[in-house]
Every structure is written in C-alpha cells, then in structure tokens.
Structure 1
C-alpha cells in the first residue's frame, strides 16, 4: 500500500524516488507499474541491501529491475541536488527514534516538497493511530500549510504493533488521493495480494477517534 496508494492516485507517474527501503519490498511493488520509467532509491546503509539480497531474495527482487538506480547516500542531500523532478516520493523508514527521527520532522517534508514535480505525491510511513497520535497530529499540522492536501490512510499488517501501520500522503499542486485515478491492469491484478481499487479508498476511512484527533 505504501507504493500503490500514491502510484494509483497519480495519472502518469514516470519518475519515482524511494528514501530508505533497502529491503527492496517497495521497489518490487513499484516495478509492477509498467508506466514508471525510472525508480531511484536512496539508502544510507548499503549493508541493508546486501543482507536483503542474501536473506530476503523474495523482497530484494526489486533491485533486479533495470529501471532501478541505487544511490548509497543521504536522501536529504540527494533531494537538494534534484529539485522538482519526481512524480512520486515514497519514504520507507524505520520508527521515529534514533537516526530515522529526522524523517518525521518538518524539514524532511519540506525537502520532499521541493523535489516533487508539480502534481506530485509523497507517501511516507505514518506510524499507528492506536499508539502514535502524539506523533501523527503535530506532523500533519506542521506540513499542512505547504502541501496542497495532506491525508492519512492506514493498512493492516499483522507483524506491526497493534497490527496496523499508517501512511501520510501529501500532494503538490493537485487534489487529494482518496480516489484512485488509475486501475491495475488485468495482468497486474493477478499478482496483487492486498491492493485493489476498493481497498484504496477504504484505507482513508479512519475510526472516529482518529479522524477527530488528526484532523480536528
């Protein structure tokens, strides 16, 4: 869902940037979209990629796609040197503690905004509505003034605390992402295990307590 929500909400995504995601799982899902022409990944720790290729080949298969370009470097620096060119930016990060904490702060969202092309979409790991409203609420408040729209979706993943994880989805110069503007091809549908057009829209329907807390 981290990959498919923004990609199916964009009418014609050509250039996609992934920050983090060294296990290759997000790359694998982006690679299912035949219209994407370039997939750039910035991973700070090359050992993560090496370990994924060795121990998680079913996920790391995304690195084999010829459209993928790997940069072992800080995503902040990469985005600063590549302004206004990406249709979709996806952040596949760890939790907001330690080095990853900067990925949940306003300057990082400002950097993503500047790296987006007009009409672009960012989608980030957004923590859990059951455990982290104290993180989600101020972050959404802080970026709402810059992005055209800021929305929150969530999905079910049994291995995460509480069995769910959220996604913050924000746009530049366009409307929201609750309704997909494209559908999976018939061939693509055969390989999708979770995403569907119905699941896309449903992901944005929040429990009443979360909706009130996040968008009060």
Structure 2
C-alpha cells in the first residue's frame, strides 16, 4: 500500500498532470478504477458462468462487461478541463483563458474590460495596470540614476515587469516565473482584451522570459542594477522564499554598484527582515527599496525622467498617470542608514521559520 501510494503520487504529480492535464488525469484515474470493478466482478464470478441467450459467458468477459457498464457513463459525463476550471473560478469558458502543466495552473478571467489573474486557484493581480504592482516596478527604475539591467522574480499579470521596462535607458529585463503557463495565458488574454500595457509587455524585445526558481536564477546569473520580486501575499505557499533574510541577502549580493533592490512590505516582519539585510533603505508606503550604497531621492532628476516623452507615451498607452503615481509614493520617504539600530529587529522571517507564510501572530 505504501509503495503503491508513493508511486501513484509521483506518477500523477510529475507525469500525468504535466502531460495530460487535470482533466485527462481525472479521466485516466476513473478508467483505472474500472480495474477494481473488473477484479471484484471476476472474483465473484470465477466459479460460475453467466447465461446469455442460451450461452454461458466466461467470468473474465462478464467482469469486463460489468466494468464497462459502471465506468463508461462516468467517463462520458466527466467535463473537459476548461469547463472544470471555469466552474471552480466562478466564470464560464468563454470568459477565461487557462494553461496548466507540472509547474502549476494559470487562469485569467475577463469580461473584455478587466481581467483577474489566478495562480493555482488564488487571485493574484488584475489588469489594467496601475496599482501597487506598477509602483513596485517603477519606483526603483526611476530612482536609479542609470539602470541598464533589471530582473523581476514573478511575472503574474506582467504589471511589475511592464513598469520596470518603462525606463527607456534599461537595456535588459529578465522576468523569472515559476509557472510556465503564465505567459501562455497572457498571450491568450491579449487576443481578447487588447490592452496597450499587455501588448507592450509581450512585444518588448528587451524583456526575456525565464521559467524556473528565482533564487536559483540569481545564483547562476551576474549582477543587476535593479532586483525585485512581484508582490506576493505573505501567507501564500512558499512565499517565505521571497521574504526571508537569506533571500534578501542573496539579492543584496547580486546588486551592481549603486544597484537597488525592491520588495513589497505587507507585514512588519518583512519590513524588519529587509532592513536588517540592507545597510541603506528607503521606506515608502508598502514598499521598501534597499542598496549597499546610500540612496539619493533626487526629485528634480526623477521628475525629468518621468517627463521624458517616451516614458509618458509608454505609460499613457497603458492608461497610467505615472507622474502622479510615483510622486505620490515619494511624498514622505523614510530613510534608514548605517546608524539605525538593526539589532532591535528580532522578529524576522528566515528560510527555516517563514513565520508570515505560516500566518503566525507576532510575538508580544
């Protein structure tokens, strides 16, 4: 029983879901359950025969007929994968795009005007762009004096990646997403929504999509002027990998000179953990930006970058007032330097104890 359970788990998780999807796997498992019906029928009939039209059917044939009668209707009524996912996401097939493989499930629902991005059944972000995801990408891009290379861990709706690429001087943006089907669903959505921000994201030659673990990608790569992770709920599965002291130390060590790291800071623990990892930090509403060197908030220079006609046109095509968004976040920055008493920040997230992921209450 133990060996069979282990083999079945590995076969289903690593092979079937990846090759035939959830719908195909469900049908295959239903068909395989027919073996038990056949076996039970065969054992019950092995010492007797079933008369049919003055003939006796052998036990194996009778068992086969019984298994077919029981399982065939089940296979016929089982819905397709898109019907299943549409129902579970509260929509209809005509208003949904989805993709799935062994890496996970990506679903986007849309009414033709707006869209909601779901990853493994949990809503993560929306389109059109313009909320905290946009700010998370745009702030380090326009604060940095002259960024050339950027990496964003987590694609999601593409909002953060799109915002980073809004700085004309950036030559290369690496987007690292662990769910391979995410790009597939965004491409499918683009044929229905026809949104300027999404079209720009998918057609920008500077943006290169990578599939895999973001931490492994950073360890294999070089240094970047901007490193950040797309906003992820701190209690989501494996979110601790993007909010731990080890992760923040990793991105710090892969920053180029004067490089900037950014994170969403949804909890006090994330706030504490990030500040402990970086010698220089700028605190903004819900967002932290860190560096190994002092961070200059040059409002005049930032305003000039935002006023660049290329920048304005880029964000206007996505329906975003980027100047208002960025200047609003920069209204009252909080600066943390070397003199800040970091030893007092003891309640943090670590790889071994991702407290926020487990939704543990803060110590009192």
User: TM bucket by the smaller chain?
Assistant: 0.7 to 0.9
> Would the aligned equivalents of 1:178 and 1:204 in 2 still touch at CA under 8 Å?
no
Report how far residue 177 of structure 1 moved. Answer: 4.4
CA, structure 1 residues 141+27, in 2 after alignment: closer, same or farther (shift >3 Å)?
closer
2:255 equivalent to 1:116: yes
Counterpart for residue 111 of structure 2: none
Matched with 1:210 is: none
Q: Does the 8 A contact of 2:282 with 2:290 survive in 1?
A: yes
Say whether residues 1:30 and 2:164 are aligned partners.
yes
**Is the 8 Å Cα contact of residues 2 and 26 (structure 1) preserved in structure 2?**
yes
Could you list the per-position Cα deviations for residues 126-149 of structure 1 after superposition, in whole angstroms to 9, with x for gaps in the alignment? Answer: 22xxxxxxx32x333333344131
2:147 is matched with: 13
**TM-score (ref. length: structure 2):** 0.47
Partner of 2:283: 152
Structure-2 separation of matches of 1:194 and 1:90: 22
Query: Aligned pair in 2 of structure 1 residues 99, 180: CA closer, same or farther (>3 Å)?
Result: farther
Residue 131 of structure 1 is matched in structure 2 by none
**Residues 89-128 of structure 1 mapped to structure 2, 5 A cutoff:** 89-97=227-235, 98-127=237-266
CA separation of 1:78 and 1:180: change in aligned 2, threshold 3 A: farther
**Secondary structure, in 3 states, of the residue corresponding to 1:124?**
strand
Structure 1 stretch 48-57 or stretch 115-124: which is displaced more? 48-57
CA distance 1:32–1:40, shift in 2 (3 Å): same
Q: Deviations over 1:32-59 (max 9, x none)?
A: 2211000001100011222222225635
Q: RCO (CA 8 Å, sep 6+): is it higher in 1 or 2?
A: 1
1:88 corresponds to 2:222: no
1:195 paired to 2:322: yes
Q: How far apart, in 2, do the equivalents of 1:124 and 1:178 lie? A: 20
Aligned counterparts of 2:276 and 2:216: Cα–Cα separation in 1: 23
CA distance in 1, matches of 2:300, 2:265: 20
Offset of residue 178 of structure 1: 7.6
State the Cα RMSD in Å: 2.5
The 3-state SS of whatever aligns with 1:3 is helix
Q: How much has 1:9 moved relative to structure 2?
A: 0.8
In structure 2, the CA distance between the partners of 1:176 and 1:24, relative to structure 1 (3 Å rule), is same
Please give the alpha-carbon distance, in whole angstroms, between the structure 1 residues aligned to 2:284 and 2:290: 11
| TM-score after normalising by structure 1 | 0.76
Counterparts of 2:274 and 2:262 in 1: how far apart (Å)? 13
Q: Which one has the largest radius of gyration?
A: 2
1:141 and 2:279 equivalent? no
User: 1:54 pairs with 178, 183, 188, which one?
Assistant: 188
Cα 1:50–1:80, aligned 2, differ >3 Å: closer, same or farther? same
Cα separation, 1, equivalents of 2:209 and 2:156: 10
